């Protein structure tokens, strides 16, 4: 019997599924079952996957139902006590599963092991490092403030814990990862592997690129989490929502500079200021406002050219550095 079930939900993943699969097949733990949940793909995903000859790979095809439903299907099919999910465009370093499995063996009270994340582009080239935050033990307060796991391709989780919290919320259009991590953190301990082992792909077509949809889902997740959180954690609300709106503002500003995206960024940044008035005196605020103005007032092509020429002036990556985590 294998040690770990790796679940890969995929919908039209022909461009990246082979590279993702290779990163799993080259794990230093080889005793795996690899469950590919085909969510109604209409491209050549299945042909690509079936061309990979490895007895550990199993393919299950269903009508399209979304990411959360695919993950839940994988949980039901898994035959092991440990489950890890990876989206069909992300990558792992070869030691990812081994390090996380060892962490759970050494910390039997923990149900979730996670690693640090770095970000790559469509060509699998390094873009930027992730938050690289290490939390051991009780993670609920920290997760309410920020999703420090950063993505759903990260954790190794005890299967029984996933069952106990009811699996993924299939009604959420996004942020289902943060939601289940919050549910797990309310009942179980976490253990961190302080090493960059998840390579999360940033793509214009990724689910997280839809900022408005992500905002609605995250607000629902946080509202529910705080409703269920103990009174001692209610003081974190302002920090939590402030972090969310800073993150969403940075996401909106990172996209192609059209007017609607600029207006969305402006609204999100105003919400950030309402939650954290110290932004009014932050140096990054001028850069944010310049970038919003360019996106709103200039034609997209001209705005793009101007922003590229003035990267130092309009670089808003430091906005992510203002996320308040250590409270």
Reading the chain (327 residues) residue by residue, the pLDDT tens digits are: 899 999 999 999 999 999 999 999 999 999 999 999 999 999 999 999 999 999 999 999 999 999 999 999 999 999 999 999 999 999 999 999 999 999 999 999 999 999 999 999 999 999 899 999 999 999 999 999 999 999 999 999 999 999 999 999 999 999 999 999 999 999 999 999 999 999 999 876 554 558 999 999 999 999 999 999 999 999 999 999 999 999 999 989 987 899 999 999 999 999 999 999 999 998 889 989 999 999 999 999 999 999 888 887 777 666 676 665 554
Q: Rounded to 5, what percent of the chain is helix, strand, coil? A: 50, 20, 35
Return the H-helix or E-strand segment holding 156: strand 156-158
Residue 136 near residue 191 (C-beta atoms within 8 A): yes
Asked whether 138 and 182 are in contact (CB, 8 A), the reply is no
Residue 99: strand, helix, or coil? helix
User: Can you read off the two tokens belonging to residue 131?
Assistant: 């938050």
pLDDT of residue 289: 94
Cβ atoms of 227 and 205 closer than 8 Å: no
CA–CA separation, 182 vs 208, rounded Å? Answer: 18
pLDDT in tens, 193-214: 999 999 999 876 554 558 999 9
Report the Cα–Cα distance between both ends of the chain, in Å, rounded. Answer: 44
d(CA 56, CA 3): 12
pTM for this one? 0.93
């Amino acid at each position: 019997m294998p040690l770990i079930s790796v679940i890969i939900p995929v919908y039209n993943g022909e461009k990246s599924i082979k590279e993702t699969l290779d990163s799993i097949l080259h794990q230093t733990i080889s005793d795996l079952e690899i469950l590919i949940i085909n969510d109604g793909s209409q491209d050549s995903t299945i042909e690509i996957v079936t061309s990979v000859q490895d007895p550990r790979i199993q393919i299950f095809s269903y009508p399209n139902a979304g990411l959360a439903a695919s993950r839940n299907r994988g949980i039901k099919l898994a035959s092991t006590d440990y489950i890890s999910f990876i989206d069909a465009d992300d990558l792992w370093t070869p030691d990812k599963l081994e390090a996380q499995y060892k962490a759970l063996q050494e910390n039997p009270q923990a149900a979730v092991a996670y690693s640090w994340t770095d970000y790559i582009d469509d060509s699998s080239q390094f873009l930027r490092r992730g938050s690289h935050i290490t939390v051991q033990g009780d993670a609920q307060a920290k997760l309410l403030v920020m999703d420090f796991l950063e993505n759903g391709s990260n954790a190794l989780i005890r299967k029984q814990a996933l069952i106990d919290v009811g699996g993924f919320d299939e009604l959420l259009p996004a942020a289902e990862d943060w939601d289940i991590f919050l549910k797990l953190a309310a009942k179980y301990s976490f253990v961190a592997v302080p090493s960059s082992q998840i390579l999360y792909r940033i793509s214009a077509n990724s689910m997280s690129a839809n900022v408005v949809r992500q905002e609605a889902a995250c607000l629902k997740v946080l509202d529910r989490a705080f409703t269920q959180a103990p009174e001692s954690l209610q003081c974190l609300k302002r920090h939590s929502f402030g972090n969310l709106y800073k993150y969403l503002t940075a996401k909106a500003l990172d996209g192609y500079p059209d007017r609607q995206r600029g207006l969305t960024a402006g609204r999100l940044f105003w919400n950030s200021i309402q939650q954290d008035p110290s932004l009014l005196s932050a140096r990054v605020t001028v850069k944010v406002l310049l970038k919003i103005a360019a996106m709103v007032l200039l034609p997209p092509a001209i705005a793009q050219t101007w922003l590229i020429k003035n990267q130092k002036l309009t670089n808003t990556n430091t906005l992510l550095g203002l996320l308040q985590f250590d409270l």
